[in-house]
Chains A and B, each alone.
Chain A
């Protein structure tokens, strides 16, 4: 059983501010964390390893500092961490990011076949939720997004039953391995890591991959060159105005409703307080 988990180191958004002039995040001096969904993806992989044996590999594309995040994953039970880091990868959008991750996963699985790919449902800084699906498409593996539970997992029969969150409720899907899941936090509550993992992680050094060693990436598909996304404008939307409240007790039912109808006609949002 071999799982590969893609994690992203993100600014701790509880501390983040927006530069009002440029509309971009102020990242300087903001503490970083593992994207909150991703740590649950790691936990899920570790639980399957505990059940079936095998290995958990964690990969991330990011600056050298992202090594910390990989070490934290080793604390949580991952076996191997790979940091894909190169100046040329900078300023990647979801297209370029998914290329780099997919290409790295291809190299990993050439050496050691992969049964399961795990991603967070979205990154709290980019918030697109596109990277997981993008990688699934590139690698041509089935995608289960917004997964909340693994009902069954059979590495021998190569089938899994997974619950995913959809707008109407929960969808239960049966899917063949290898597959790619993007996960919600419910997938697996994070357990406190045992001391042996902490001791292992204290001296663990993640593998460092650049744009050309040990794997050659297609430079035209990475970083700013490989990113067709153009950010036109980023702004904070004005706060919504409060809706009007027409009190039936004050106006009487007839007047309140009549006034409400006029206002709806003028496309306002109205709450009619029927409390008499």
Chain B
């Protein structure tokens, strides 16, 4: 007695992209089902994590009254350049960050994602968990008409499917919206630990006055053994999120194990005191797409749209992903609503979604940093060389040797030339500028 399940829209994946899409559509009255394979929405998700409120506000103007499970607002942000036994810090702390709601908060996804899904449920979306989508169903002309799940009588039909399956985009690949599986050159692997620590210790170590302050530090150089990649140290309410990420290719080439890189970073003399006495509570690994603007999948085809990590929507330089995902999910949802009004689910109509993204920060930023991955790929020494150089300069600069300062400046220039020819430095800087300016 198989029942035919028919909806106005199907969303695959309960991350920020999928949930934003489901919420948007359900709120406008579309009969929407969100299918998530995890035990609960968010069960399988983790990130650094900084969440940006602008994207949440666009989705839910009254989000603040709905008491989202934020950890700490960011009141200090910046970079540390790590050498093997020293650090140069450049962070920005400001009273201007202190307003409610703040611009950005640290967040634990196992708490945030269920909260967001609850908002989608309240808007009328049907959230089904512990159910994986095995494949997308198409009619004889290739138009998407629904999905097949891994449950008995598990086919679901709808004129529109939004795929928000995250970085491991198997459905997107099987639909032919992208030609290849992610090559190891264009995907980063990150590992993270959540270390639980009393709030008062966190506050003392990071110089925070209370739970109303928080820090997010991104770390380069020795954190990733000088290889292209970043590490991070974020403060949560009663814990620290610490992690490292590098291109998968680097792990393979250098035969590194992710947890060893993280363990090494945790034991760094500059880092270790921040973690002292903390208890590792959670460990996880996750991929980050670094595919870039030019290698994104097709974002729309007949009856289907792709949003978030599944489409490679990440700005690695600013560690932004969730806000791109949420914005894209919302825009895909809005396009689906218009498609229902027009009764047109063709690729041509749905391409409006891509247009909307091109006009927003999502694809503008992706376009601007389109050369970032190539830059790191062709300048693999960049982080290591310059992080070490900065540390050596600092040591020389801050130590009095009883020699004239003019001589010290010459020594500093000499130190740079030892590492990289004048021409090499110029080339690195030109490349960096191009990668930043798009």
Contact code string B138-160 (vs A, CB < 8 Å = 1, else 0): 00000000000111111110000
Say yes or no: is B33 at the interface (Cβ < 8 Å to chain A): yes
The listed residue (A195, A202, A203) touching B149 by CB distance below 8 A is A195
CB pair B127–A194 under 8 Å, yes or no, is no
The listed residue (B128, B130, B152) touching A199 by CB distance below 8 A is B128
The listed residue (A191, A194, A202) touching B154 by CB distance below 8 A is A194
Expressed in whole angstroms, the Cα–Cα distance for A194 and B150 within the complex equals 9
Say yes or no: is B3 at the interface (Cβ < 8 Å to chain A): yes
A195 / chain B contacts, CB cutoff of 8 Å = 5, 128, 131, 149, 151-156
A203 / chain B contacts, CB cutoff of 8 Å = 126
CB pair B126–A196 under 8 Å, yes or no, is no
B131 / chain A contacts, CB cutoff of 8 Å = 195, 198
CB pair A192–B128 under 8 Å, yes or no, is no
Expressed in whole angstroms, the Cα–Cα distance for A108 and B79 within the complex equals 64
CB pair A196–B127 under 8 Å, yes or no, is no
B151 / chain A contacts, CB cutoff of 8 Å = 192-195, 198
Among B152-170, those with CB < 8 Å from A are 152-156
Task: State which size class the interface on A falls in.
Answer: 10 to 19
Which residues does B use to contact A, with CB under 8 Å? 3, 5, 33, 126-128, 130-131, 149-156
CB pair B153–A196 under 8 Å, yes or no, is yes
The listed residue (B3, B152, B155) touching A192 by CB distance below 8 A is B152
Of the listed residues B33, B126, B151, B153, the one surrounded by the most CB atoms of chain A closer than 10 A to its CB is B151
The listed residue (B33, B130, B152, B156) touching A194 by CB distance below 8 A is B152
B155 / chain A contacts, CB cutoff of 8 Å = 195
Among A199-242, those with CB < 8 Å from B are 199, 202-203
Expressed in whole angstroms, the Cα–Cα distance for A198 and B154 within the complex equals 10
A199 / chain B contacts, CB cutoff of 8 Å = 5, 33, 126, 128
Among A176-206, those with CB < 8 Å from B are 191-196, 198-199, 202-203
Q: In the complex, which residue of chain A has the Cβ closest to the Cβ of B124?
A: A203
Expressed in whole angstroms, the Cα–Cα distance for A111 and B271 within the complex equals 67
Expressed in whole angstroms, the Cα–Cα distance for A274 and B82 within the complex equals 65
13 residue pairs A–B, Cβ–Cβ below 8 Å: A192-B150, A192-B151, A193-B151, A193-B152, A194-B154, A195-B128, A195-B131, A195-B152, A195-B154, A196-B3, A196-B5, A202-B126, A202-B128
A196 / chain B contacts, CB cutoff of 8 Å = 3, 5, 153
Expressed in whole angstroms, the Cα–Cα distance for A199 and B156 within the complex equals 11
Other than A194-B152, A195-B152, A195-B154, give 7 A-B pairs with Cβ distance below 8 A. Answer: A195-B5, A195-B131, A195-B155, A198-B130, A199-B33, A199-B126, A202-B127
Expressed in whole angstroms, the Cα–Cα distance for A196 and B156 within the complex equals 10
B152 / chain A contacts, CB cutoff of 8 Å = 191-195
Expressed in whole angstroms, the Cα–Cα distance for A203 and B150 within the complex equals 20
Contacts known (A192-B151, A192-B152, A193-B151); A198 close to B3, Cβ less than 8 A: no
Expressed in whole angstroms, the Cα–Cα distance for A192 and B153 within the complex equals 11
Q: In the complex, which residue of chain A has the Cβ closest to the Cβ of B127?
A: A202
A100 smallest CB distance to B (angstroms)? 29
A198 / chain B contacts, CB cutoff of 8 Å = 128, 130-131, 151
Expressed in whole angstroms, the Cα–Cα distance for A191 and B151 within the complex equals 10
